[in-house]
Structure 1
Amino acid sequence: MIQALIVDDEPTHIQGLVRHVGWEAIGYAPPLTAQSGEAALALLRNHDVDVLISDVSMPIMTGIELVSRCKELGYRLQVLIISGYNEFEFVQEAIHVGAQAYVLKPIKTEEVEAKLTAFRAAIEKQRDIEAETNELQEKVSGSLDVVKERFVHDLVLEGLADDDTKESWIKLLELPPLMRGISVISFGYDRFMDGGRDAKSRIVRGSGFLKAVKVSLADFPGVIAASMGSEEVVAVHLNPLPEEQVRMEKGIAFVQQWIREQYGSSVTVGLSRIFKDWGEAPIAYKRVKYMMAKARLLEGGQVLYEERLDETEFLEHRVREEYIPEIVRMLEKADEAGKAVEYTSSVLDMLIAHHPFTYIQAFGLGLLSELARKRKLQDDAMADLNIPVWQRLIDCTTVPQVKDAVMEYVKRYAEAEQNKQNSQQHNLIQKISDYIEAHIHENVTVKQLAELHHLNASYLSVLFKKSTGKTVSEFVQETRMNKAMELLRDPHVRVYEVAEQVGFQTAAYFTYLFKKTTGYTPQEYRDYH
């Protein structure tokens, strides 16, 4: 049954609802009652309440303040506000702080029952969702295979460099300390040799592929395997022993033979070096994947060891396919431009440790060329800088000179992009602020402002808060109050006229908000000034 709580300072109003609403017929238990906000909060602390029904106008603590307090305390309630016609703006405020519906006085029983019935449906759906979520969580917790697959994905794609993430995985899976390190093994199905590419056959094959790897490596207590799609299985081997290498090779051969017999295709396998830190897993995985992709150009079905990887070729591949594209991508996003500078510096340091001067110089020229080709900035200052920097790079004779030239250009590029975006955002926010001030007598919403300026409403809200330190609603209310204070200094303008000119439908709600904001009623403020 659904439990409701009725709050009203008038006992007759409470009794009317208790007697005339068919609580049991609409799926509710007999309602709890309270005659003040404080009494309601006391009941909420001791009872499980699903629905709050409150009068908007009560002494000491209004219905608005009660709803707001419930939200602050974390109560998940469906809220029905009861209001008179002349209190309608209070209803809008109540909905703003968390109420879901309202009814106007004089109350019609069938209208209240309709709202409560809708609440019951929403509550039951929420309960169903929570029950299904809890059931799913229990299944996931009970299925160690699912948890292990998620762990392998996180490890090889993102690493466990974050201490909290690492500790949570270690605790969840009871992982051992890395006394001897980790290795990554990638089993790649050579699809180019297989004619069956329809969805069903790929799903079936992927399931069989994963099972084959798990069966072949079942004797290794430190191995955790996961599917990375229908054509790849990745295993991580924790604390591998030297004497396990022969058995590992036999397990790999078993997988290759099984795939060949079942599907007439081959499997290419790549094994990483043993590394000592969880955070090294992503780079180890990338190295193995590069090694496998290169080998497949000649022949599938090979077993490849990272020890034989050509470091120079791999670095060149990363520069071409990863480093330069990532720097360009980050610089083209003003909010990541600062990170791009740090990333460029770390890439240069890594390249300097492995390559001679001529390679570092070529990298710098390649990066600048790519930035000049793809950049979106069109200002003359940046355009005029390109040729001198290229000339400076060509004239460099030492590695530090190359790094200084590249970093100076990247920093100036990042600053220019940030300045451009800041200027655009400042102009946009100023335009929106001016519109709000010019239309303060209207009820302008975030959605309307977003549509007027061709923006997404959520993006506008975030941008406005970031630029001004206030939400759009806070800015509107502050602008209204400032305008109201200005008008109240003129004794010829009546209070209700001030309310209308700053966008309030009723003087009562204007008085309520003005006192809440300034500490004075409009008349007290006028008298003081």
Structure 2
Amino acid sequence: MMIQALIVDDEPLHIQGLVRHVGWERLGYAPPLTAESGEEALELLGDMDVDVLITDVSMPGMTGIELLAKCRADYPKLQSLHTLMISGFDEFEFVQEAIHLGAKAYVLKPIRTEEIEEKLAAFRAAIEKREQIERETRALQDKLTGSLDVLQDRFVNDLIEGRSEDAELMDSWRRLLDLPGEVRHLRLFLFAYDRQERGAPADARRRILLADGLWKAVKIGLSGWEGTYVGKTGASETAVVHLNAKPLDRAGMEKQLQFMQEIIREQYDASVTIGVSRDGDGWEDVPPLYKEAKHMLAKARLGGGGRILYFDRAEAEEYREYLLKEEEVPEMIRLLERGEDDQARVMFDLAFERLLAREPVSFSYVQAFGMGIISELAKIGSGKEDGADNANILVWQRLIDCTGAGEVREAVLDYMARFSRSIKREDAAPQHNLIRRIADYIAAHLQDAMTVKQLAEQFHLNASYLSVLFKKETGRTISDYVQDARMTRAKELLRDPNVKIYEVAAQVGFQTAAYFTYLFKKGRGPDAPGISRLCQIIEQKVIAC
């Protein structure tokens, strides 16, 4: 199949130069279509099947940036369009904006033919890969695509579930999959869908399609690398175990990750976050690598999805604290809330004994351990009883004055007993006032980039607790609330005829005017009451800029 390109430039000589000097047929392209304005290009894009768009940034009327933004906003079939931007040195900031909108590449003037051909060849490779995945997607009706795939799926799940300790089972897997005799090192890649659209109806067929689609995309995208084993680990997850990888293979696989995210986004309108584990030394390392990657992905989603994450030393430190802060302490709190104080005490004693069993362990670390538990309890219990702040100060001082691990243990247990009493008291008013103060803070900082973690730190709260409390109080997640607040403020600003579109975008926290325009029209479309006129104002302001 020949690939179809469209060249857009207001200078006919520039168009003819590209038509004549680029080896279109040699690169697998049909003779290119041409247009001398953004408006003419949109007509062609609406009528013809175009795979690659080559456009100048600076054109009268509709610029290349505006053309690309309109393609993304108004033409669903052009979401997979590969775009090459052409610009001068003094237009580089506009190129950055184009890349933000989805442009795949750019070249600077004066244009070199070999550079254009290099970009076109890369586009062709990506398009062919996408078509291969699309062909596989259309074949999802086949329940079994081969016995090897089924074996790999079960093998990966056995590893994650810790069954590598069964010597007889592992011997059978070695024979079935011809596994290497020695595992020098391994890594685990975890691909997981981010949350689906709000309000989307539950659909078993779509869940199956998404699960199979992710698995197939990963299988095809990572095909060709020796020592890779792919398995579905859930309805929205696929894991890959990569054995004894050479440095070039490691780099090559990592380059494919973003490509696979784009394929899933285009095929299923779904966002995927990818976690890359630390190195492991043997089969027994797979379960902890999987748990660490799961933790890393869950934490990342609080700040938005669609990312590629690597488990480094800082992540390892956070994960060690995670088991206490995000699993054991919340479980202790749940036990205390249910009145099961004895079980909460047993759980704490087990965690404390595990700490003391480490070799070596310093007393200062034991103190820090106790302070960490009390800090998390204090964040959640803050404001539940009169004099809580004074009591917290006293317990801090008590911990500082401790001279032995036994004293630290007793101080924490005493605080847990007080916490048990206070946590059960119903006091909805302070929570309501807290959320109101947080909402006021968001309204005053719309121009800033805010994450849930930063917001929690601002109000001295646990990030997970803040997310749950905010959703319970407002009925919306923090990210949805921030987006709605930004759009509401934008509508107010846009009614001023003197304000510029880029000024509105900056004041409500968007980096580029084009991206703000695109989101405004998409999320608050012209069919909404009172918005049609605002959309016309936006278009007039963009043209004026």
Answer whether TM exceeds 0.5 for this pair: no
TM-score calculated relative to the size of structure 1: 0.39
Of the two, which has the highest radius of gyration?
A: 1
TM-score calculated relative to the size of structure 2: 0.38
Of the two structures, which has the highest relative contact order with CA contacts closer than 8 Å and spacing of 6 or more? Answer: 2
